Structure 1
Amino acid sequence: MTRSNLTDAHAHLCDAVFDTDRDRVLARAQAAGVGAVVTVGETLADARRNLDLAAAFPMLKAAAGLYPTILDPDQADEMMAFIRHNRRHLVAIGEVGLDYWVVKADSEKALQREIFTRFVALSRELDLPLNVHSRSAGRHAVALLLDNDATRVQMHAFDGKAGAALPAVEAGYFFSIPPSIVRSRQKQKLVKQLPLSCLLVETDSPVLGPEGQTRNEPANLTVSIGAIAQIKAVSEAAVVEAVVENTRRLYGKF
């Protein structure tokens, strides 16, 4: 079966773990049918690196965002200025969002929500998709997105229950599924209950691979495809067709 034009919708190809063999990693991805990789960032240094990498490797599509555990309004200001300045070179704002697994104090959660809300507004202003982190905060992230009229949204590696995801599905948001689905009952249950029309695929490389202690890479996108096909009882070709179309609906043509 030909897997043409698959997009890894969330990966960290700027990570230093790829510095010695990034070209070979991308060659393996292409051989597996991956045509594009949305390379997200967590800091301003990541964002700059992503732009440089996208210029060097055309299959990489740069995103810029501030990781949710960075509770610094000044860094948020700098990141938003960077995104505005580089709008035409970016395909998404990400990763941004909420993380209640790390952030526990109510005051810090409030600041985290404030920063995320500003990125949601920036997404609407610039018409850029949001690539959203929501660890242990899925229901809260979805509610904030809906309350702030977010329209172009990818929920990355969503770890909540399907019930928390359904309002986002109704709003037209997408959910990207990593290869770790083969070892995650939660993600298997999520995929079983969500419609194929809202699914994307990602790797979150270098983490969330099919084996927990092994470096993940975009070629493993095929693992996500196979798992979704098995759970939904459809062909891999049908999954590929759906996720390619879903990616186009969210991101347009790269």
Structure 2
Amino acid sequence: MENGFVDCHCHISAREFAEDLEDVIQRTREAGVKTLVAVTEEVSEFDRVLQLQERYPDLVAPCFGIHPLQGDEGPAQRSVKPQELDAALPQFFKHRERLVAIGEIGLDFTPWCAATQQDRDGQMDVFIKQLNIAKELDLPVNVHSRSAAKVVIATMREQGVTRALLHNFAGKPSVALAGVKAGFLFSFPPAVCRNHQVRNEPCNIVLSCRYIADVKGLSSETVRLVTGQNAHRLFPKVDAHVQYTCF
């Protein structure tokens, strides 16, 4: 008997899923996904992800995090401001027992979103503070690193972070190797197989699994089993929050 897939980084609390959530959840279950490590990007999602855990206690494992970019996609998107995290800090500690990780956090130095040194400094301040929250709460971190991969890995090492998932990593192989040596794990979204869909959702983890299996010359079942074991090792609190059904 094998455990099912663990989606280590999903945005099920995002408003884009509000209208067809039940359909998304049904497709998730049908694909054999047993756990959703559900990250947030802004404080307005915190209550939503907790509500989803209450609604789907056998599936949703909640995280709290403030993303380095805030606002809607496009011209309105901007770097996070330190005061936005400060206002949210009490929530991390109030709900500490329900959280399985801190995320989505990180750095995004995309030029049009972090045009000034002040923007980058603000992101770094928010990132380091959330790394410290993770250490204080003894939780792993779920990390975004666009146009800032080397800085993200160096910062986590400097801060003494040992448990991290680098999501959709796009840095150089040499930088990724530094992360591997530090003990960090990496996740691969369906984009690795050039999936051109408009919106991603948890059931598409099957696409990533097949692609990894093809690249490594393994069976999909082996990839599912090993990645699931990695996920449970990185997110040990998942076992306390989610009831598993084997198949």
TM-score (norm 1): 0.85
1:107 is displaced (CA, Å) by 2.3
> 1:232 is matched with which residue?
216
Matches within 5 A, 1:1-254: 4-58=3-57, 59-70=59-70, 71-101=80-110, 102-183=113-194, 210-213=195-198, 215-252=199-236, 253=239, 254=242
Q: For 2:208, give the aligned amino acid.
A: S
**One-letter code aligned to 1:60:** V
Query: 1:3: how far off?
Result: 6.9
Post-superposition shift, 1:17? 2.1
Write out per-residue CA displacement over residues 180-212 of structure 1, whole angstroms, 9 at most, x where no aligned residue. Answer: 1011xxxxxxxxxxxxxxxxxxxxxxxxxx224
Aligned-pair CA distance for 1:46: 0.6
Q: TM-score, normalised on structure 2?
A: 0.87
**1:107-145 deviation line (CA, Å, top 9, x unaligned):** 221221121111111111101111101111111100100
Q: Are the equivalent residues in 2 in contact too, given 1:65–1:79 (CA < 8 A)?
A: no
SS in 2 for 1:131: strand
- The residue type equivalent to 1:244 in the other structure is G
Query: Which residue matches 1:188?
Result: none
Q: Tell whether the 8 Å contact from 2:4 to 2:225 is kept in structure 1 after alignment.
A: no
CA separation in 2, counterparts of 1:79 and 1:91?
A: 17
Give ranges in structure 1 of 5+ residues lacking alignment.
Answer: 184-209
State the 1:6 CA deviation: 1.0
Size of the alignment, in residue pairs? 226
Secondary structure of 2:171 counterpart: coil
Decide whether the 8 Å contact of 1:39 with 1:61 is kept in 2.
yes
1:190-242 CA distance string (max 9 Å, x none):
xxxxxxxxxxxxxxxxxxxx2242x2211110000000111112211221121
Q: 1-side partners of 2:170 and 2:88: how far apart?
A: 26
Residues 154-179 of structure 1 show CA distances to partners (whole Å, capped at 9, x for unaligned) of: 10111112211111111111101100
Give 2:109's aligned amino acid.
Answer: Y
Task: Give the aligned partner of residue 204 of structure 1.
Answer: none
Of structures 1 and 2, the one scoring higher in RCO (CA 8 A, sep 6+) is: 2
User: What's the Cα RMSD here?
Assistant: 1.4
Q: Hey, what's the Cα distance between the residues in 1 that align with 2:82 and 2:147?
A: 22
Identity of aligned residues (%): 34
Structure-1 separation of matches of 2:64 and 2:28: 22
Please say if residues 3 and 33 of structure 1, whose CA atoms lie closer than 8 Å, have aligned partners that are also in contact. Answer: no
The 3-state SS of whatever aligns with 2:9 is strand
Alignment partners' CA distance in 2, 1:122 and 1:7: 24
Deviations 1:19-70 (A, max 9, x none): 2221221111111110011111111111111011111112111111111024
Q: What is the identity, as a one-letter code, of the residue corresponding to 1:243? A: T
Distance 1:110 1:225 in 2: 37
Aligned residue identity for 1:18: F
Which one-letter code corresponds to 1:53 in the other structure? L
Which structure 2 segments of 5+ residues have no match? Answer: 71-79, 243-247
CA distance in 2, matches of 1:228, 1:52: 33
